[in-house]
Amino acid sequence: MQQVIIFDTTLRDGEQSPGASMNTQEKIQIATQLERLGVDIIEAGFAAASRGDFEAINQISKVVKNSTICSLSRAIESDITQAAKAIEPAAKKRIHTFIATSSIHMEYKLKMKPDEVIKRAVEAVEIARGFVDDVEFSCEDAGRSDIGFLKEISEAVIEAGAKTLNFPDTVGIKMPDEIKKMIKELKETIKDRAIISVHNHNDLGLAVANSLAAIEAGARQVECTINGLGERAGNAALEEIVMALKVRSDYFKGLYTKINTQEIYPTSRMIASITGIEPQPNKAIVGKNAFAHESGIHQDGVLKHKKTYEIFDPKEIGLNKDDTLILGKHSGRAAFRDKLKKLGFNLSEEELNEAFIKFKELADKKKEIYDDDIRALITNSIANVKEFYELVALQLMDSTGGVPSAAVTIKMPDDTKITDAGIGDGTIDAIFKTIDRITGHKGLLKDYKVKSVSQGKDALANVTVQVQFNENEPAVIGHGLSIDTMLASARAYLGALNSYLAMEGMFKNSKSKGI
């Protein structure tokens, strides 16, 4: 039997999905869950990109014990040093360094000759090996690179000490047969001197098919993300690759992963809840409809024998349909703690106490509390940093036929309370403008989403906003949760402002540094 190594890049490439940026607390929760899922390597970020990234990688390195923690770095000494410092506390660590190898990238982006690229790659691997044994080297845009050049640079970096060689289809242009041919040829050169890895983007919807084709050709590491998050159209979805290898073990003979598939669904839900990005309903494995049978013929078939239309039992990915209706008003702490554990959250005693109070408040208003309600409750409290401004009260004037207006009271950082009222083009606009006036921070609303968390007329509204507070810095995300949508909106907006203030100064460099 041969293992296929699962390299998860949800926290790095996945975070590059528009609107998916996460704070350190959120990343720690995800990393802990990825460890429970059994991923071999967690790419926790790109340490040199910002102070926020560095912090998150460093914290994750302190808590995760079983998975290797990896930081990305350009083939630049200062990046590699930052990566090494960030992962320093990790029990198992890897530095992942890369440089582009396609003519178009070398000529226009790097403005370097192929010989210079090889020299830089070798230097980078040598520097990284000075810090750690486990060094991965990536040929960015390998999918459009000359195969002869890929072989040449592979020889050089293996000689310099790289243990894993990654060949990304950075722009998602390859067909499965082409990837298979490329990996086969590289395998003939590389043999067993390094592990061959692939990293496929999904621009033509082929990222998973390409990853599986590469595995057939000899790749023994795949880089992937939960829910297929990632730059542009995303990366290959971890859950699809893993379940394809498992369900079709007759086809992928002798290959296995160390993934505990029962943790796939909880991990997918946690990430959707934290990022606010839901997988499309018909998404394979984890989409809302992946096990829904709509047609009468199908329903009849499934009732007679599940396998007529279901290729595997949803329980295999941890989706237990009977398990979702859970706690209520009378549930105690022990049941609540147990539920959190099942959902993959790892809270300190203090966080657990705070969450339990919130749960009880919710249970007073909402009769039935579902798994997704609990997830939203927890992810909202870890997403919103409360150090700066706190919403005390919100009062709305009836806008029917009149001017929409809002009165807002906010507890300021110095503990004083300020109340102000304002008007706007609609109630939400009035709320946000009044918050801007009280806090003195003017936000530009880039995105606003409202989603009902679970079912029922008393369902929680989960509002996600993306707000830019400084035109030279990226927009930040805020989440707000309440049975009242307007209250959830105010909380989300203030949450974004608090996150922005907590991260101020962490945006030093932008993440578009050549990736």
Binding residues for ligand KIV, rule: CB under 6 A, are: 13, 98, 138, 140, 168, 170, 199, 201, 515
* Distance of closest approach, residue 245 Cβ to Zn ion, in angstroms: 21
d(CA 423, CA 44): 43
Contact 34, 10 (CB under 8 A): yes
* Distance of closest approach, residue 166 Cβ to ligand KIV, in angstroms: 6
Contact 369, 359 (CB under 8 A): yes
Where does residue 331 fall: left (phi above 0), alpha (psi -120 to 50 degrees), or beta otherwise? Answer: beta
**Residue 136 in the binding site for Zn ion (CB under 5 A):** no
Helix axis angle for 264-275 and 24-37, nearest 10°, is: 170
**Residue nearer to ligand KIV on the CB measure, 168 or 279:** 168
**Residue 223 in the binding site for Zn ion (CB under 5 A):** no
**Residue nearer to Zn ion on the CB measure, 100 or 406:** 100
Q: What does each C-alpha distance from 425 to 404, 411, 429, 465, 469 come to in angstroms?
A: 7, 25, 6, 17, 20
What the block records as the tokens of 451 is: 């989603």
**Residue nearer to Zn ion on the CB measure, 241 or 363:** 241
* Distance of closest approach, residue 72 Cβ to ligand KIV, in angstroms: 6
**Residue nearer to ligand KIV on the CB measure, 284 or 515:** 515
Q: What is the DSSP string of 369-415?
A: -BHHHHHHHHHHHHHS--SS-EEEEEEE---TTS--EEEEEEE-TTS
With H, G, I as helix, E, B as strand and everything else as coil, classify residue 361.
Answer: helix
Residue 515 interacts with, from ligand KIV, Zn ion, none (CB under 5-8 Å by kind) = ligand KIV
d(CA 201, CA 290): 22
**Residue 263 in the binding site for Zn ion (CB under 5 A):** no
The partner residues of 322 in beta bridges, in order of sequence, read none
Q: What is the largest CA-CA distance in the chain?
A: 75
**Residue 169 in the binding site for Zn ion (CB under 5 A):** no
* Distance of closest approach, residue 97 Cβ to Zn ion, in angstroms: 14
* Distance of closest approach, residue 46 Cβ to Zn ion, in angstroms: 11
Contact 361, 341 (CB under 8 A): no
Residue 98 interacts with, from ligand KIV, Zn ion, none (CB under 5-8 Å by kind) = ligand KIV
* Distance of closest approach, residue 148 Cβ to ligand KIV, in angstroms: 20
* Distance of closest approach, residue 201 Cβ to ligand KIV, in angstroms: 6
**Residue nearer to ligand KIV on the CB measure, 163 or 199:** 199
**Residue nearer to ligand KIV on the CB measure, 173 or 255:** 173
What the block records as the tokens of 106 is: 């070398």
Contact 487, 493 (CB under 8 A): no
d(CA 224, CA 462): 28
**Residue nearer to Zn ion on the CB measure, 15 or 371:** 15
**Residue nearer to ligand KIV on the CB measure, 70 or 496:** 70
Residue 302 interacts with, from Zn ion, ligand KIV, none (CB under 5-8 Å by kind) = none
* Distance of closest approach, residue 138 Cβ to ligand KIV, in angstroms: 4
**Measuring CA to CA, which residue among 66, 207, 74 is closest to residue 143?**
207
Residue 228 interacts with, from Zn ion, ligand KIV, none (CB under 5-8 Å by kind) = none
Interface residue with Zn ion among 13, 53, 169, 240 (CB under 5 A) is 13
Q: Which residues bind Zn ion (CB under 5 A)?
A: 13
